[in-house]
Amino acid sequence: MFRRPISPTELIYFPMRDLAPPFLMQLVVEGDGVIDAEQLRGAVATAAAANPGARLVRDGKHWVDSGVTPAVRVVEHALEYAALEADPVLNSPIGPGPEATVEVLLLTGAPTTLVFRVFHGVMDGMGMVMWATDVLRALRGEEPVGAPDPIADAELVAKVGAPGRPTLMLPRYRSALGHGRQLPGEHRHLLRTRTIHASGPGALMRVAALLVEEGGPFSRIMIPVDIRRHDPALRSTANLALPLFLDAAPGTNAKQLNEIKRAGLKQNLELNQMDNGGLKYLPPAAGRGLLRTLNVLGARTGRNLASATVSHMGRYDLDALAVPGFAPTAIRVLPQHSVAMPLLLGMTECGGRTELTVSARSGQGIPERLDALLDRIVQTLESELTPTNSPTA
């Protein structure tokens, strides 16, 4: 039976379901055509059998395979992209019950859309992609690749070995959006997306450089690193992403940030970060209180443990992901909300475009500043990367 310890990283995510609901990573696959609901349910069952990380429930200090296929919900709905934080479906709780950790939505409004919803306590972003692409394989009648290994970050780090001490985590970093008091009755988080009609290498560091330029006197950009790189044979959907911190002042360009990143990866510095600022040592109630305090501190004073998280979740061949009757036209990753981080940006590349989605801690003045920041990101990337209509796109 599939069973593994809940890692220290994952334990920190449990209170986030109440503090920043629904606290889900969501992979959105939008396309032309239709998907039969019963065929989808069959594919989800086949893929889940090969990826037991999609069927996990908590048993004390462990995750165990429940043997129950994730729910597939069919909803007559089209996503409200202008302000995703207000979308009633994306912000609904995962189902069918409070112990569920993975769910698939089939949205039948135009355009047809699949949404893979995952509690971050059981998977990281790459684990979510591995699971979702296996569902699409099963829909094509192919055998899933599968991810049977019951290994998460703590066990892999113990195997590889951390090279030094964890980075000191103090709430001192400013956000590119500034800060604003959170008002009762308003959304505590924003979720916005933009399509950038260009793609190419360097997009991640260009966005990071813009955040540093717009930030305070010193910024800390967190880049999640997939530590599966230390064991290429490993097949696990668990949390295997650890942070690499890029500390920089305004004026640091994308090339310089990339050099900082490359040096950090060469030293395996992401393997140092299992301490998570000491949160894992706190009792649950104390950890929850600390997270609430971090949110208030960030909203009211602009002091955060990091300025932003920026993730690149891959480049996709849309034709290769097609299934009978359904051709994907866009893939977007929607990051979870956070009370400890003011900005989380997720990027994908597909069809010669870059899809960018951001979760932002909201507050007075934040929506307008977020729109302005996204405008600048779009303008910069479309001017510096390969445009969609280029023969080389």
Closest to 279 in 3D by CA, of 190, 339, 336: 339
What local confidence, expressed as pLDDT, does residue 276 receive? 55
What local confidence, expressed as pLDDT, does residue 280 receive? 62
Closest to 64 in 3D by CA, of 14, 2, 121: 2
Kindly give the pairing relationship between strand 198-199 and strand 112-119: unpaired
Closest to 57 in 3D by CA, of 129, 1, 104, 19: 1
In angstroms, the CA 105 to CA 116 distance is: 7
Each domain of the chain, given as residue ranges in start order, spans 3-161+169-387
What local confidence, expressed as pLDDT, does residue 382 receive? 96
Q: Determine contact, residues 344/40, Cβ cutoff 8 Å.
A: no
* Distance spanning both ends of the chain, measured CA to CA: 46
- Please name every residue paired with 226 in a beta bridge, in sequence order, or none if there are none: 241
pTM of the entire predicted model = 0.95
For the chain, 393 residues long, the average pLDDT of each consecutive 10-residue run is: 92 90 96 98 98 97 97 96 94 89 97 98 97 98 98 94 86 94 92 96 96 94 97 97 96 97 96 68 75 85 94 96 97 94 97 97 96 97 81 37
Running DSSP on this structure, what letter comes out for residue 202?
Answer: T
Q: Could you tell me the two tokens for 62?
A: 């462990």
What local confidence, expressed as pLDDT, does residue 392 receive? 36
What local confidence, expressed as pLDDT, does residue 170 receive? 87
Closest to 326 in 3D by CA, of 26, 43, 25: 43
At position 348, the amino acid (one-letter code) is T
Please compute, for residue 155, the number of CA atoms within 13 A of its CA located in the half-sphere on the CB side. Answer: 14
Please list the helix, strand and coil fractions of the chain in percent, rounded to the nearest 5, in that order: 35, 25, 40
Q: Which CATH number fits domain 3-161+169-387: 3.40.50.10860, 3.30.260.10, 3.30.70.20, 3.30.559.10?
A: 3.30.559.10
Q: Determine contact, residues 176/307, Cβ cutoff 8 Å.
A: yes
What local confidence, expressed as pLDDT, does residue 393 receive? 34
